[in-house]
Structure 1
Amino acid sequence: MTELSPRPRRRRWLTVLVAVVAVVVYAVVVLLYASGLRSSSNGCETVIEGDDGVTVLLQPAAVQAAAQRLEFQVSLEPAKSLMSDDNYTPKHRISLLTFPVDGTRVQSFAEGEALASSLQSDYAEGVVEEWPFDSYRSELTTFAFTGEGADRVAVPTVVCLHDSVPGWQLDIERLDVTGNRVTVESGEIPLPSVVITATRSASTVAFGIVLLGLMAVVPVLVLFVAISAYTGRRKVEATLTSWIGAMIFATIPLRNFLPGSPPVGSWIDYLVVLWVIVGLVTGLTIYILAWNRWGTRATPKSRELGQPEH
């Protein structure tokens, strides 16, 4: 028996290496996606039974990166001592003040009125051009009180996040704002201010990076084919110009397929997309020159008709 030559053995190892890398990349993407799935609760605290307090549930609805807005549903979960026997309506008028928000700042529920949630939006500071590493920070202050006018009495309020937004990782941080305090029956308490930070999930970042990497591979392949044809190592096929042209026109739809649709002018346009298009156009130019250099020459009409040339 003859042993395998070094070249086939090297090719076999290369094939195995490529297969292993592909499996590892696939497994990493799947694990990142699984870790980024939404959970039903994000560290949500509840009011201790028997306390005259209120839990404010913030249920994120959407992160508008381009508009720098965080949308969320605001709902109340008062302690049992503040609710009627039916557990659906408050014993006394209860209101919730939330600021700064784009919608109604005060939600009021009269005695015997069922509690309802409202959709609010708040300004979120961030730079969308840094996609997919962009993050957004929104500061919110909210507290509940009972009664009306001069008879208003603030009640202890706890704010928490409930649920999340697909493709985003949301975190909440409670602030101890000195100087901003509200008076309750038991004394003074600090205003419940929180900071909500929204960052793109690891699965979204991995998806974007993999897609950008695939985009970068396309011009490399086109340049390889074009240079091989120009140097005469491969035969020129005129139909390949259609393939290269299709790659140029497919770049923009592929770029717009990125999750979150980053706006034009993001860093990926300057560092990746622009150079992908430059590489494709360069490859098309080289291939046209190769076609002109090695392509089949046109037969003069005089030869086609069998007439002597003059």
Structure 2
Amino acid sequence: MGKRLGWSRGVGIRRLIVAVLVLVLVVSASLGGYRSSRDTTNRTSFFGDFDSPDHVEATLWITKVDAAADTFSLTITDVRPYGSLADDNGNFAEDATLVTNALGTWRTQITRGDSAPDADQRIALDGSITDYPFDRYKASIEMHVDRADGTELPVAVIVFSTDPFFSVTPSQGAAQSGGTMVNLAIHRTLPTMVFAIFIMVLMLGLATAAVIAAYFVQSGRRGLNFTACSMMGALLFALIPLRNAVPGSPPIGSVIDFASFFIAEAIISISLISTVLNGYRHEMAVERAAAVPAEEVSPEPAEASASPTDQRLPSLP
């Protein structure tokens, strides 16, 4: 008996150690994913003609990717001339014009002796948000700085991305007429994709739970089981806010809908309706059976009454 207890304790300790090690590995892998996502989001990239002593340098901040509007917001800051292009105060030594491929206001005038103003711009994206959460986009930033006579100045840019929901991978592009072009490959960050895929799997799992509950109630002829019906009704309406909780607010008709949301809603609806209808039929059958009266038992034949002759005869002493 003592050996058995000792063996059981040893097995329990080993299982506890294995469970702790698995937990540590899972947490470490999760933190590793966070670290990778953080490094991808806060990436700093350099493009353009940094080697030229006379160039204009600018910092580009990608602040928000608006996939629904097919644009992203770009803030141009810290535009500085270097070498002979700068005066003694570090400002522009001559008039210049900053030109980008932005929508709307794409020209910014720079006055001689002044620093360049910051500019908030929007640039078009190429992609489809209905591919959510696997949607990917392409875009480019083209920047020129021209003298008053139209001559191109060498341009160098520093690119930052601060949108926590998108990973931006920049690469050097070839501008057609001088300046600097940066090509961008944009996709959802790893945490966003993991969360969206988890929601998709969860919705399908809840639909499976509804099917199991419906089968349990109907196969056992349990009638109108209000507990199961309430659960399926709650699941039916809970999926809507659950679907809308995914980051990025994808429109109806995205991949997440056709892959999980529409399927789950249809399965739960069918399970609920079939459970109610079959339960109602069963309950009505039970009530009809209870309402049928028991067969009346026919009375036994009464004893033949005495004949009038017998009634007139006197009884014997």
1:63 pairs, out of 59, 62, 65, with 65
Q: CA deviation at 1:206?
A: 0.8
- More divergent stretch after superposition (124-133 vs 226-235): 226-235
Q: CA deviation at 1:97?
A: 1.2
Matched with 2:162 is 164
Q: Which letter does structure 2 place at the counterpart of 1:165?
A: D
Is contact 1:50–1:79 with CA below 8 Å preserved after alignment? no
Matched with 1:135 is 136
Q: Quote the Cα distance in structure 2 between the aligned partners of 1:227 and 1:54.
A: 71
Deviation sequence 1:258-297 (CA, Å, 0-9, x none): 1111111112222211110111112213432453366595
1:225 counterpart = 2:213: yes
Q: What is the 5 A alignment of 1:38-187?
A: 40-44=42-46, 48=50, 51-75=53-77, 76-79=79-82, 81-87=84-90, 89-99=91-101, 101-146=102-147, 148=148, 150=149, 152-177=150-175, 180-181=176-177
Q: Which letter does structure 2 place at the counterpart of 1:107?
A: T
Name stretches of at least 5 consecutive residues in structure 1 with no aligned partner.
4-15, 182-189, 303-307
Q: Quote the Cα distance in structure 1 between the aligned partners of 2:290 and 2:55.
A: 96
Matched with 1:206 is 194
Matched with 1:281 is 269
Q: What is the 5 A alignment of 1:9-28?
A: 28=29
Q: Quote the Cα distance in structure 2 between the aligned partners of 1:247 and 1:264.
A: 19
Q: How many equivalent residue pairs?
A: 282
Q: Which letter does structure 1 place at the counterpart of 2:160?
A: H
Q: Quote the Cα distance in structure 1 between the aligned partners of 2:264 and 2:236.
A: 9
Distance verdict in 2 for CA 1:132–1:27, change over 3 Å: farther
Matched with 2:243 is 255
- Structure whose alpha-carbon radius of gyration is higher: 2
Query: Per the alignment, in what secondary structure is the counterpart of residue 46 of structure 2?
Result: coil
Distance verdict in 2 for CA 1:291–1:31, change over 3 Å: farther
Is contact 1:59–1:164 with CA below 8 Å preserved after alignment? yes
Q: Quote the Cα distance in structure 2 between the aligned partners of 1:55 and 1:270.
A: 47
Distance verdict in 2 for CA 1:53–1:290, change over 3 Å: same
Matched with 2:234 is 246
Q: Quote the Cα distance in structure 2 between the aligned partners of 1:222 and 1:216.
A: 10
Deviation sequence 1:105-149 (CA, Å, 0-9, x none): 221221232322111111111011111111111133211133x2x
Q: Which letter does structure 1 place at the counterpart of 2:266?
A: V
Q: Quote the Cα distance in structure 2 between the aligned partners of 1:249 and 1:22.
A: 34
Q: Which letter does structure 2 place at the counterpart of 1:71?
A: S
Matched with 1:271 is 259
Distance verdict in 2 for CA 1:29–1:225, change over 3 Å: farther
Distance verdict in 2 for CA 1:77–1:298, change over 3 Å: farther
> What value does the CA root-mean-square deviation take over the aligned residues?
3.9
Distance verdict in 2 for CA 1:205–1:287, change over 3 Å: same
Distance verdict in 2 for CA 1:176–1:130, change over 3 Å: same
TM-score scaled by structure 2? 0.74
Deviation sequence 1:15-44 (CA, Å, 0-9, x none): x99999998777655543442236554223
Distance verdict in 2 for CA 1:36–1:278, change over 3 Å: same
Distance verdict in 2 for CA 1:28–1:128, change over 3 Å: farther
Distance verdict in 2 for CA 1:162–1:133, change over 3 Å: same
Q: Which letter does structure 1 place at the counterpart of 2:123?
A: D
Matched with 1:7 is none
Q: Quote the Cα distance in structure 2 between the aligned partners of 1:71 and 1:112.
A: 29
Q: CA deviation at 1:234?
A: 7.5
Distance verdict in 2 for CA 1:84–1:298, change over 3 Å: farther
Is contact 1:44–1:162 with CA below 8 Å preserved after alignment? no
Name stretches of at least 5 consecutive residues in structure 2 with no aligned partner.
5-16, 297-317
Query: Per the alignment, in what secondary structure is the counterpart of residue 44 of structure 1?
Result: strand
Is contact 2:221–2:282 with CA below 8 Å preserved after alignment? no
Q: CA deviation at 1:164?
A: 2.8
Distance verdict in 2 for CA 1:200–1:271, change over 3 Å: same
Identity of aligned residues (%): 24
